[in-house]
Amino acid sequence: MPTPPKTSSSKIIAAARDLIGEPGLDELTMQAVAHRVGVRGPSLYKHFADRAALLREVETAVVADLEAVMIQVPPSLDDLSALRAIAAAYRTFAREHPATYSLIFGLHSGDAAAEQARRRALQPALQRLESYLGNREAAFIRARVLTSFLHGFVSMETAGAFRLGGDIEQAFQAGLALLLCDTARK
Amino acid sequence: MPTPPKTSSSKIIAAARDLIGEPGLDELTMQAVAHRVGVRGPSLYKHFADRAALLREVETAVVADLEAVMIQVPPSLDDLSALRAIAAAYRTFAREHPATYSLIFGLHSGDAAAEQARRRALQPALQRLESYLGNREAAFIRARVLTSFLHGFVSMETAGAFRLGGDIEQAFQAGLALLLCDTARK
DNA sequence: GTCTATAGCTAGATAGAC
DNA sequence: GTCTATCTAGCTATAGAC
């Protein structure tokens, strides 16, 4: 006679869902990196203690790159135009390097250098917001809201999550318009 | 004499960044799932063809769960209150099941069932938005904007990306207030 | 700093008995 | 439908020669 069932598809699915942990970066293997730079895997360990150490440095470098594109905004622009330009630069960066971008908020390694890079990258936008809103605290809150929108939008966009048609560019501009409306000014 | 250098730390970092592909779900191994349901690994293959097939079903189930919590909003609520409640339910779901939540926009498997589940989950919020804004097209755009904000906010929140202090709840409410202001009504 | 060789591990998936 | 046994494959990391 056949062995009695111990489980079921739905039980397996439920267990799988309980099990999901942090997503990794499977493709980034030491050997693949080594091949890219023309050496063998073990040679990398003369440069970095282990894979985690390499990842920490990558994280910091990526954030610095994002800062570099956001900082390109001409100082001559008015605040609102500058904020729009920063947002556009952010989105462009994410679209051009989607997997790389995902490290910025995806690794959360707690690395001090990466954390400092993140803080530094935020600074220009924060200053513009403060000038625009005329209120330091409001600018800080708005920065969080704007960053959330930008991160969510580009994450969905690069993941191909906008699948219902329509003008995606229009949605981006509409979101910016709502979040950059100057309602906090007294 | 020592072997001449073929590479450098910065080259390695650059190569690593070029290499980053899609993040995986390392912890979700077939053996771990099997152990959870009290069987051995190979038994799972009688239920699902392979790991990818299991993941597709998990994805659909997760979206259905998110829909279930968003649908709990009482019909008696006015549109604005209902939209706030839906947003709160979304955020609560992500906070309670962060890793599970990350599958919703993270897997993009192109699975038809998952796609249909996503569409279905969006429907109630979309209807409320249409009633609130009095414009079908504006509601569709606003839904994209709101979803982007929600997804970005909860992704950052669960990743621990809000590291600069301050009231995170206040930022969430501020974002909702800006995105739910009724500026599109004629 | 590079290499070869290898240890040690873990994963996905299959074969065949029951 | 479950099991044991096994295959294949890939990864991190180390040892030691050059």
Q: What percent of chain B has pLDDT over 90?
A: 56
Task: Measure A180 CA to nearest chain B CA, in Å.
Answer: 9
Residue A54 pLDDT exceeds 60: yes
Judge: B20–A179 Cβ closer than 8 Å, yes or no: no
Residues of A whose CB is below 8 A from B97: 17
Taking the C-alpha atoms of residue A168 and residue B172, their distance in angstroms, rounded to an integer, is 24
Model pLDDT for residues B119-152, shown as the tens digit of each residue: 999 999 999 999 999 999 999 999 999 999 999 9
Does residue B50 carry a pLDDT above 50?
A: yes
Q: Which amino acid is at A96?
A: E
Nearest nucleotide relative to B12: CA against C1': C1
Q: Which of B7, B13, B163 sits opposite A57 (nearest CB)?
A: B13
Residue A174 scores a pLDDT above 80: yes
C1' (C12) to CA (B10) span, angstroms? 35
Q: Is the CB of B34 under 7 A from strand D?
A: yes
pLDDT at B11 over 60: yes
Q: How far is the CA of B43 from the C1' of D5 (A)?
A: 14
Residue A103, helix vs strand vs coil: helix
Residues B105 and A159: beta-carbon distance below 8 Å? yes
pLDDT per position as a tens digit, A15-45: 887 777 666 678 888 888 888 888 888 888 8
- The nucleotide lying nearest B7 (C-alpha to C1') is C1
**What does the pLDDT look like over A90-115, one tens digit per residue?**
999 999 988 889 889 987 778 899 99
Is strand C less than 7 A from the beta carbon of B170? no
Residues 128-157 of A with CB under 8 A from B: 140-142, 144-145, 147-153, 155-156
Domains (range + CATH), chain A: 55-179 (1.10.357.10)
- How far apart (Å, rounded) are the C-alpha atoms in residues B175 and B125? 17
Query: How many Å from the CA of A52 to C1' of D13?
Result: 13
Nearest chain A residue to B153 by CA: give it. Answer: A148
CA dist., res. B27 & res. A23, Å (int): 8
Which residues in range 21-60 of chain A are in contact with strand D, contact meaning CB within 7 A of any of its atoms?
28-32, 41-42, 45, 50-52
Sign of CA dihedral B25, B31, B34, B35: negative
| Alpha carbons A104 and A129: distance in angstroms, whole number | 22
Measure the CA–CA gap between B42 and B49, rounded to whole angstroms: 11
pTM: 0.92
- Under a CB-based contact definition with an 8 Å cutoff, are residues B143 and B122 in contact? yes
pLDDT for res B186: 40
A5 CB neighbours strand C below 7 A: no
Q: How confident is the model at residue B22 (pLDDT cuts 50, 70, 90)?
A: low
pLDDT at B35 over 70: yes
Neighbour-count burial of A100, counting CB atoms closer than 10 A to its CB (0-12 exposed, 13-18 middle, 19+ buried): buried
